[in-house]
Amino acid sequence: MKVIKNLATYFKIGLETILTNRIFLVSVSTLSLILVSIVVYRAVSLRNKVDTIENNIIEKMEKTVKIDYPEYNITTSEGATFITECLKAPLTNSELSEQLLNISNELENLFNESNYNFAFKYKDLYTGFTLSYNSNQPIFAASTIKAPEAIYIYEEAEKGNINLNDTITYTSNYYNTGTGILKNTSFNINYTISKLVEYSIIYSDNAAHLMLNNKYKPNNMYNYWQNFGTSSIFSQNNAWGNINANDATIYMEELYNYYIEENKYSDELLSYFDKSWKILSTPNNDIRIASKSGWSGSSLHDIALIFDKNPYTLAVLTQRGYVEYQSFFDEVSTLIYNFHQEYWNQKLNICQIN
């Protein structure tokens, strides 16, 4: 007790000395002012940077639907060869029917109605024909980042560069309160790579994603996907990243290519995308859809591979959050589905297949 009383006495003496020392008080006040000014300046600068990014997004946004198709020359061959060549050739702008143009106008109007609507891209996988809106502009990827990560891991496993039976230990370092099921399990349990990919796609498990991302590194995946022509994935070296509609289309088309090659693990990987939470749909409930959605704050996206008779991909990226999102995604899904059906009806007529 005597020691505590002495400490209290010395503290009181010290405090009185400081309060009577004007020079010291002025120095402390000046230093505090400088420190506060620095913090405020950095906060304002950061806010300005964010505002600049947001303004750039608004300025760069495309306001019209873009129609694109690869060059394709039909040979002068006859019979079955001619039909095959004709079917492979995408429709050009001048060949699009009034009905197809009307649907593209409806899509354009739908995306221009609200600032919450961001980007989409549709691609017919057989001809390469695309419709898109604001497809180059990046937006926060949310959990759609788990799709290219999973495809990368399985394609590397196919080459023998990754062993899907290797394990990673789930520790507190990977705990995440977001989506997933690992957050409800015990620490210090080992999970195979294939199981973590399954969790990251089906349950959108953030902890599983962080474990995989830490092992296989954003830079490796960035370099891998850049070879396919992507521009937004892991542009910064962290576990999350951006996406644009062009990149999303590349991911899902590569998933399709991997699947149809009937690789060792292709059925397994696609089954994960089959079982994931979906926002996109088709009016025909019998059509198989493999997709990966993502939601974080205002970012709400779904990127899908749709196994119609003639398969196509669809990426819809929005800033809608959870506010009345389903009707918007349903409307886009239906318009694209109708466009795709009419597109192929017209192609069959042009190629004289009735």
CATH number reported for the structural domain that contains residue 205 in this entry:
3.40.710.10
- Give pLDDT, residue 76: 63
59 within a domain of the structure (yes/no): no
Say yes or no: 78 and 17 in one domain: no
> Total domain count for the chain?
2
- 278 neighbors 287 (Cβ within 8 angstroms): no
52 within a domain of the structure (yes/no): no
Say yes or no: 136 and 167 in one domain: yes
54 within a domain of the structure (yes/no): no
User: Given 3-state DSSP classes, what are the helix, strand and coil percentages for the chain, each rounded to the nearest 5?
Assistant: 55, 15, 30
Q: Which residue has the tokens 């300046």?
A: 41
Report CA-CA distances (Å) from 218 to 92, 154, 250, 291.
Answer: 38, 16, 18, 22
23 within a domain of the structure (yes/no): yes
Written as tens digits, the pLDDT of the chain (354 aa) is 444 444 444 445 444 544 445 444 344 344 444 443 443 344 344 334 333 433 445 446 778 999 999 988 777 666 778 888 889 999 999 999 999 999 999 999 999 987 777 999 999 999 999 999 999 999 999 999 999 999 999 999 999 999 999 999 999 999 999 999 999 999 999 999 999 999 999 999 999 999 999 999 999 999 999 999 999 998 877 899 999 999 999 999 999 999 999 999 999 999 999 999 999 999 999 999 999 999 999 999 999 999 999 999 999 999 988 777 899 999 999 999 999 999 999 999 998 876
- Give pLDDT, residue 60: 64
Q: For the whole model, what pTM was predicted?
A: 0.82
278 within a domain of the structure (yes/no): yes
For residue 108, the SS3 value is helix
181 within a domain of the structure (yes/no): yes
Say yes or no: 148 and 40 in one domain: no
321 within a domain of the structure (yes/no): yes
Say yes or no: 38 and 99 in one domain: no
- Residue 121 is inside which H or E element, if any? strand 117-124
Say yes or no: 188 and 313 in one domain: yes
Q: Name the packing angle between helices 266-275 and 193-202 (round to 10°).
A: 30
Phi, psi of 304 (to 5 degrees): -135, 150
CA angle 247, 251, 256 (to 5 degrees): 145
- Give pLDDT, residue 56: 45
Say yes or no: 31 and 127 in one domain: no
Structural domain boundaries, residue 12: 2-47
56 within a domain of the structure (yes/no): no
Say yes or no: 23 and 84 in one domain: no
Say yes or no: 35 and 178 in one domain: no
Say yes or no: 24 and 134 in one domain: no
Say yes or no: 26 and 132 in one domain: no
Say yes or no: 34 and 160 in one domain: no
Give the list of residues 6+ apart from residue 271 with CB closer than 8 angstroms, or none: none
| CA distance from start to end of the chain | 101
Say yes or no: 27 and 70 in one domain: no
Identify any residues that bridge with 122 across adjacent strands, giving them in sequence order.
Answer: 131, 314
**Rounded CA separation 102/206 (Å):** 41
